[in-house]
Structure 1
Amino acid sequence: MDHKQQNQINLAKRESPRKSFHMHSIFPGLIYFFIDELDSLDRYALYSEEFIKNKMVDFDKRMETYAKENQLDEYDADAYYDYKREEIDDHFKYHPSFMYQSLLILSCSFFESNFVDLCKHLEKYENLKIELSSEKIKDHNKLKKYSQFLCRNFMICPQYSSYWKYIQNAYTIRNLFVHANSDISLLKENQQAKTEKIIKNLYNYEITMDHNLVKLRSGKYARFIISTMKSFLEDFKKACVENNMLGPKFWP
């Protein structure tokens, strides 16, 4: 497969051009709903990060106001900050970390469930000719499993999308948080090397590793992944429209 083909999701171009703006059946609507929900998730991610940052600013202002109103000198101000150490950790350490990880985990779970549902809908409810059922594809990774399902049955191959690698990488980071509590040393040796390589290439997205602990320092990476998922879905929709098997059936 040449370089040009590697950037093409749809490997079976439709033979007849589209003649109508109308769509048939439920499948096109499911794609549009999926994209709309990702848009909403993107707005939620931005709102959540702004909320956390505003809470930080408000807390700082309250601390400064208290020190000023009570005319605390440097020694007493330090003592007061030590007294408030638990709240400081909540606002600047734990709560941001919890939220940033949760956004990434939510994004991955949301994308996987909806992507799998799209494929299952094609398999079960649209009366399409299926050469290879999903049950016969033995892969515990559902994204890879249903990517193969689409490729083998309809010649729509997500793995050739320029966005697919970034989505797969996001699941590697997500698995680190879910299964190893951010500690890369708890992973199997081959997974450690793979995860470290991915993290090194994500420095611009404020992911750091310190003493084997991986941290998201902002919501930047989660929002990047949500944007990447949206871009993939737009390409996927276009591929389905232009596909010789799916296009004429759903987008005549």
Structure 2
Amino acid sequence: MNKSQIAVGATIIALSLVVGLQAGKMSRSDAAAAREALPDSTATIELTTQEGDLVRVQPSTLPPPGPQDFTEIAQRITAGRAPMTYLDEILASRGDHIARWVDRRYNPITVWVQRKPDVTDFWPDYPNLARDAFSIWSNAGIPVRFLFVDDSASAEVRLRWVERFPDTAAGKTFWARDLNWWIVGGDIEVALHSAVGETYDRDAVHAIALHEVGHLIGLDHSSSPGSIMAPRVHTLRLSPEDLRTAKLLYQLPPGLVRDTTR
């Protein structure tokens, strides 16, 4: 098995999900810089994190989450670890910050999925595979719903198909957040071929989309090989750990969740 192959059951799928998440891994100093750079809350800025990722920080009209009770938050996190989640891995990659959407059960996030890209090996049912990935996450016990729209300009989230990436990535998610760490938009790119030209089959395309939508809702990579959020995916469905982590994420407020003054 070469480095771009993963196992799904007894089937080998050429897939390497080394995802270019461009909105995570921001340190506390990065967050402070963002606040200073937006004194009037009217501009959109881009920051480079310690890992070299690009972060889009923009103003929004969403309310702040309120005063953070770090003791109460710590109790929620501790309770959520049994059974296990990978929330600690998310916090480690983001300087103890949580990024997530505000409750969107009654005001669904608008999503545009590209229907007719000029990409080889694209099949007409691929947009349905992508929509199914959004639906699976919206049924994962989190307060987020999605509404598919035909106008890309008005959509909060856009999913496009690309031939390939120059690196080992099979998909990339770029999301934007406000100063309070509410996610306010995003763009997903799904490749149909590996960097060396191998064509991804339908199962692989579906797995890529599931992984990317996981990033869109605020998850980062998991070290568990059975997770859809593993850097290299070995599954076609959400694991119990994925479900528990997503639920715990949405029980916590956005922003800094640990007291850094002690």
Using the size of structure 1 for normalisation, the TM-score is 0.25
Structure having the higher Rg: 1
Higher relative contact order (CA 8 A, sep 6+): 1
Using the size of structure 2 for normalisation, the TM-score is 0.24
Higher normalized helix content (fraction of residues): 1
Higher normalized strand content (fraction of residues): 2
